Amino acid sequence: MVKVRIAPSPTGFLHVGTARTALYNFLFARNGGGKFILRIEDTDIERSSDEMVNVIIESLKWMGLHWDEGPYFQSERRDIYVEYADKLLQAGLVYPCYCTKEEIEERKRVTEKKKKKKGWKYDRRCLHLTREEKKQFERERASALRFRVERASSFEDFLHGKIERSKEDIEDFVIIKSDGMATYNFACVLDDHLMGITHVIRGEDHIPNTHKQILLYEAFGWMPPEFVHLPLILGPDRSKLSKRHGAVSVLEYRDRGFLPEAFVNFLALLGWSPGGDREIMSLDEIIGLFSLERVGKRGAVFDTKKLEWMNGEYIKKMSDGELLRRLSPFIENKPGIEEKGDEYILRVIALLKERMTLLSQFWELGSYFFIPPEQYDIESFTKYVKKGRAETRKERIEKVINAFKELKKFDRDMAENCVRGVAEGMGIKAALIIHPIRFALTGKTGGPGLFEIMEILGRDECIKRLEYFVENILPQLNIKN
Ligand code: GLU
């Protein structure tokens, strides 16, 4: 049975690269009826934190990637690692190393300077210590354990085929640090083996680690799992995606108003394709279609524009009720929301959803449905006026106000008839007053249909805003036409 894992280190938030790796593992497991486990690789005690563990868990849950086992914590498995390290020590495959980080760095610096090239590897100083020297160090220092690399490493990668590395290119790597904790490479191999992992699907940047891990599998006489090294996610300049390209943390995407469905759909397509030009797919559809054979070998560019487009498509497809639920964290503390109530918000949603690509845009686009405009986009409006598309005469707006006051009932058709009637009566094009009215009601020059906006705002609110505009804003505008 397929058993895969995602093994994030809680030294930072969940990066989109790790999120994609998690997704591919999840898809592979679900497609084949296998298991997906979560393992927290917190061997670097100083750099790991509970807060980041929570962020990782929250990110995976937000994406809907539910795991079948775990989370396992490597920090709780120390004894297991020590026990297995001891076996290698007994077999003479590892040796104690007393060098401090500073000593190693200094030797590396000096050698690289002398040879004028980078690429120093551990010089095996501690492998050649005399019994006396060892004894002396033993009294003074804590020791790490280093694995003795005596052979080349080679493995068959699912995507890349055979990958080899000569023994000269692999240093004697540490398996247990001087603080007694296992290193990533050692803990990873033990856990993958003991947890019965069948496929290790992870980023291509781990290939150098895999070479070391292969040597450990061989040392224990264990069958390694199948390795699948995914191509990296790239920024628009085709370098590895990083902070300087924009947001890289999953929760940042959530907070910016992306829907998890869209985010997951987008990530799935970063390196995999179901064939044809299908793009919008539910998680269940993706699970059904997913196969490692259709994962590409080349890095995929993270195209934020495409993600935004996709998000917009998901928003359009979503029911208004569901959208209301998803919008809640973005609007719950905004003024007017509570007073207006769900029914009112749903009417606004129906009007705005075609225009939104992010949940966070709801408030930007439609705050005027809840509170009078806080700001008026005078610059855009002035342009309209200068192009002769709007005019600013007070009397004309006042005519509309008076006409509204006469109305007993108010809906979009009545509002429209009324405004057009006023324009006709004055012998001008309706657009000339529609623009200033829109500007007065919303503070903006664009948006959904004016009469739909009016219907939602209601007659009295429209009158109030128009009166305020005529009294307070219009005199400040100072535009002639
Ligand atoms: N802890 C490693 C990381 O976060 C896991 C790599 C692996 O999947 O083995 O990159």
Q: Is pLDDT above 70 for 118? A: yes
* 106 CA distance to ligand 1 middle (Å): 29
Residue nearest atom 4 in ligand 1 by C-alpha distance: 8
Q: What pLDDT is attached to residue 183?
A: 97
Kindly state the tokens that stand for 468: 């305020």
* 119 CA distance to ligand 1 middle (Å): 23
d(CA 423, CA 445): 19
Query: What is the arithmetic mean of pLDDT over 445-458?
Result: 96
* 8 CA distance to ligand 1 middle (Å): 5
Q: Is 356 exposed, middle or buried (0-12, 13-18, 19+ CB in 10 A)?
A: buried
* 7 CA distance to ligand 1 middle (Å): 5
Q: What pLDDT is attached to residue 219?
A: 98
d(CA 210, CA 237): 28
Q: Indicate if 243 belongs to the active site.
A: yes
Residue 451 neighbours by CB distance under 10 Å:
18
* Residues within 6 Å of ligand 1 by CB: 7-9, 41, 184, 188, 202, 206
The CATH code of the domain at 378-477 is 1.10.10.350
d(CA 71, CA 86): 26
CA 274 to chain centre: 22
Query: What is the arithmetic mean of pLDDT over 31-49?
Result: 95
Residue 359 neighbours by CB distance under 10 Å:
22
Query: What is the arithmetic mean of pLDDT over 407-423?
Result: 95
Ligand 1 atom closest to Cα of 8? 4
Query: In 3D, which of 331, 419, 335, 405 has the Cα closest to residue 373?
Result: 335
Binding residues: 97, 99, 126, 128, 243
Q: What pLDDT is attached to residue 472?
A: 93
Query: What is the arithmetic mean of pLDDT over 41-51?
Result: 93
Distances (CA, A) of 464 to 269, 336, 410: 50, 16, 15
Please list, in sequence order, all residues whose beta carbon lies within 8 angstroms of the beta carbon of residue 180, skipping any fewer than 6 positions away: 78, 82, 142
Query: What is the arithmetic mean of pLDDT over 65-72?
Result: 97
- Ligand 1, pocket-test mutation among 48, 184, 212, most atoms within 8 A of CB: 184
Residue 284 neighbours by CB distance under 10 Å:
9
d(CA 217, CA 88): 11
DSSP string, 16-69: HHHHHHHHHHHHHHHHTT-EEEEEE----TTT--HHHHHHHHHHHHHHT---SE
pLDDT mean across residues, the chain: 95
- Which amino acid, residue 106? E
Query: In 3D, which of 389, 352, 392, 391 has the Cα closest to residue 368?
Result: 352
* 280 CA distance to ligand 1 middle (Å): 29
Query: What is the arithmetic mean of pLDDT over 54-81?
Result: 97
d(CA 80, CA 39): 15
Q: Is pLDDT above 70 for 403? A: yes
The fold for domain 1-71+231-317 equals Rossmann fold (3.40.50)
> 173-212 pLDDT, tens per residue?
999 999 999 999 999 999 999 999 999 999 999 999 999 9
d(CA 201, CA 400): 66
Residue nearest atom 2 in ligand 1 by C-alpha distance: 8
Query: In 3D, which of 353, 284, 344, 341 has the Cα closest to residue 312?
Result: 353
Which band of pLDDT confidence, cut at 50, 70 and 90, is reported for residue 391? confident
Which band of pLDDT confidence, cut at 50, 70 and 90, is reported for residue 42? very high
**Share of residues in the chain with pLDDT > 70 (%):** 99
Ligand 1 atom closest to Cα of 5? 8
Q: What pLDDT is attached to residue 480?
A: 62
Residue nearest atom 5 in ligand 1 by C-alpha distance: 7
Ligand 1 atom closest to Cα of 200? 8
Domain-wise residue ranges, the chain: 1-71+231-317, 320-368, 378-477
Binding residues for ATP: 243
Q: What pLDDT is attached to residue 385?
A: 84
Q: What pLDDT is attached to residue 388?
A: 80
> 468-479 pLDDT, tens per residue?
999 999 888 866
> 311-349 pLDDT, tens per residue?
999 999 999 999 999 999 999 999 999 999 999 999 999
SS3 455: helix
Q: What pLDDT is attached to residue 224?
A: 98
